[in-house]
């Protein structure tokens, strides 16, 4: 049912409520026919970092458990959770994240396993526009069926972190900053994300929007009750509905701009078939600080270049460390593709020269000590 998105109202993470919604979405979208007895299913959630489910940064384990239970009842041979969060991709890192996010406890109770294979496989993708091959974590490559379970969040670089963006976690560990380095331009980076999604090509995508994140997501924002679980086989239509829900213009979501250009997505939410419960825009949903300066287009040609350079230096949002809150863990330096962050006297320092504004440092700070700052006059 390409182009169809099912949205159901779910008031809490009560397992019974979530299970009822998941069962209904499988029925309404006729998804049971995608599951064959004995198949190996891998669920790819958003487990960005070591956060509890209550912090609205990661996919809630109740949703993963409900999907796993439905699959097992249909006869799936195994259901595994596999993810490559930010930072290192190894057993120590993943064990801590699985425990903190609740995946360990829910897996033991509801019968899904957790990935312990930390290898990766190069997958050729010759039809890609930006990338012709990707290194993908092995469990996703070896799965008979992949289900993506994203978290509805804002994002400082991509505007929206939803269905398509979730698959960035299929790239192993510190190879993610390498892709930021290869594609420092926001539009190119987001076009690469589409290539990546098409390469892995999950059969089904769920989005956990019971409690979303607004503001400076994907890790530094605030929780916001939306009370919805979304599901679709079409990630672009799903992201278009999410953009409509949080009242974010497409001009701020380069993934959707690229998807529309490539003919993968309609340019109006009215062209998406919405089933289930009503979706209406949340007009006061807090957006990330990612404003662009476009008044320069009105300057004379001879003034444009020097004015653009000055404006980029002064006005473009950039990451800033709140020194008093920094714990000197080095996660920001580890995640920086440009290697311009250093830790001195147990405090992080970010160099402005060379910053590509990928905001990986902001994203990976475990104590939210890195802000996205812009010139105060333009915070309107």
Q: Give Cβ neighbours of residue 97 (< 8 Å, ≥ 6 apart).
A: 47, 49, 50, 83, 85, 103
Q: By three-state DSSP, how is residue 348 classified?
A: strand
Q: Give Cβ neighbours of residue 220 (< 8 Å, ≥ 6 apart).
A: 156, 362, 363, 365, 368, 370, 371, 372
Model pLDDT for residues 228-240, shown as the tens digit of each residue: 999 999 999 999 9
Q: What is the residue-wise DSSP string for 227-250?
A: EEEEEES-HHHHHHHHHHHTT--G
Distance, CA of 202 to CA of 288 (rounded, Å): 28
pTM: 0.85
Enter the DSSP assignment of 80: E
Least confident stretch, 42-46, 152-156, 173-177, 207-211: 173-177
User: Taking Cα atoms as reference points, which of 177, 197, 328, 216 lies closest to residue 259?
Assistant: 197
pLDDT (mean) for 319-325: 93
Least confident stretch, 37-41, 309-313, 331-335, 342-346: 309-313
Q: Does domain 295-378 fall into CATH 1.10.1370.30?
A: no
Domains 4-276 and 295-378 agree in fold:
no
Residue 359 confidence (pLDDT): 85
Q: Where are the domains of the chain?
A: 4-276, 295-378
- In the chain, which ranges are continuous DSSP H helix? 15-28, 61-73, 91-100, 103-110, 138-142, 175-182, 186-200, 235-245, 254-261, 301-315, 331-335, 360-364
Give the class (CATH, top level) of 4-276: alpha beta
Least confident stretch, 12-16, 242-246, 286-290, 322-326: 286-290
Q: Is the dihedral of CA 217, 218, 223, 227 positive or negative?
A: positive
Q: Which residues of 297-327 are buried (b: 16+ CB within 10 A; e: fewer)?
A: eeeeeeeeeeeeeeeeeebbbbbbbeeeebe
Residue 317 confidence (pLDDT): 74
Model pLDDT for residues 71-119, shown as the tens digit of each residue: 999 999 999 999 999 888 999 999 999 999 999 999 999 999 999 999 9
Distance, CA of 192 to CA of 199 (rounded, Å): 10
pLDDT (mean) for 323-340: 92
User: Taking Cα atoms as reference points, which of 89, 91, 236 lies closest to residue 171?
Assistant: 89
Q: Would you say residue 361 has pLDDT above 80?
A: yes
pLDDT (mean) for 125-152: 97
User: Taking Cα atoms as reference points, which of 351, 338, 376 lies closest to residue 179?
Assistant: 338
Residue 295 structure tokens:
């008044």
**Residue 218, preceding bond cis, omega within 30 degrees?**
yes
pLDDT band at 21 (very low <50, low <70, confident <90, very high): very high
Instruction: Count how many Cα atoms sit within 13 Å of the Cα of residue 202 in the half-sphere of its side chain.
Output: 34
pLDDT band at 223 (very low <50, low <70, confident <90, very high): very high
- In 79-185, which ranges are continuous DSSP H helix? 91-100, 103-110, 138-142, 175-182
CB contact at 8 A, 204 and 227: no
Q: Would you say residue 318 has pLDDT above 60?
A: yes
């Amino acid at each position: 049912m390409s182009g169809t998105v099912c949205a159901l109202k779910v008031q809490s993470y009560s397992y019974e409520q979530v299970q009822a919604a998941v069962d209904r979405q499988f029925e309404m979208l006729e998804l049971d026919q995608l599951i064959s007895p004995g198949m190996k299913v891998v669920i790819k959630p958003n487990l960005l970092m070591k956060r509890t489910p209550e912090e609205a940064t990661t996919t809630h384990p109740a949703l993963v458990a409900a999907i796993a239970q439905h699959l097992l009842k249909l006869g799936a041979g195994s259901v595994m959770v596999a993810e490559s969060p930010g930072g290192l991709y190894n057993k120590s890192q993943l064990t801590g994240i699985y425990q903190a996010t609740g995946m360990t406890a829910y897996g033991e109770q509801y019968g899904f396993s957790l990935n312990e294979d930390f290898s990766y496989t190069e997958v050729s993708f010759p039809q890609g526009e930006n990338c012709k091959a990707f290194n993908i974590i092995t469990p996703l490559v070896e799965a008979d069926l992949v289900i993506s379970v994203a978290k509805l969040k804002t994002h400082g670089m991509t505007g929206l972190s939803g269905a398509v963006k979730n698959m960035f976690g299929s790239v192993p560990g510190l190879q993610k900053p390498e892709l930021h380095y290869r594609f420092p331009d926001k539009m190119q980076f987001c076009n690469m994300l589409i290539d990546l999604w098409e390469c892995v090509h999950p059969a089904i995508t769920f989005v956990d929007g019971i409690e979303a994140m607004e503001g400076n997501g994907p890790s530094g924002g605030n929780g916001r009750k939306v009370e919805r679980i979304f599901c679709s086989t079409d990630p672009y239509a799903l992201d278009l509905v999410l953009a409509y829900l949080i009242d974010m213009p497409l001009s701020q979501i380069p993934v959707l701009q690229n998807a529309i250009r490539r003919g993968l997505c309609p340019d109006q939410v009215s062209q998406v078939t919405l089933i289930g419960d009503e979706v209406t825009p949340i007009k006061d949903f807090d957006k990330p600080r990612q404003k662009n300066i476009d008044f320069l287009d009105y300057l004379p040609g001879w003034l444009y270049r020097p004015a653009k350079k000055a404006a980029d230096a002064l006005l473009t949002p950039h990451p800033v460390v709140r020194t008093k809150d920094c714990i000197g863990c080095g996660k920001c330096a580890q995640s920086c593709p440009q290697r311009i962050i250093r830790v001195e006297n147990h405090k992080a320092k970010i160099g402005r020269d060379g910053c590509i504004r990928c905001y990986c440092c902001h994203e990976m700070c475990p104590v939210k000590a890195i802000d996205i700052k812009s010139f105060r006059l333009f915070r309107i």
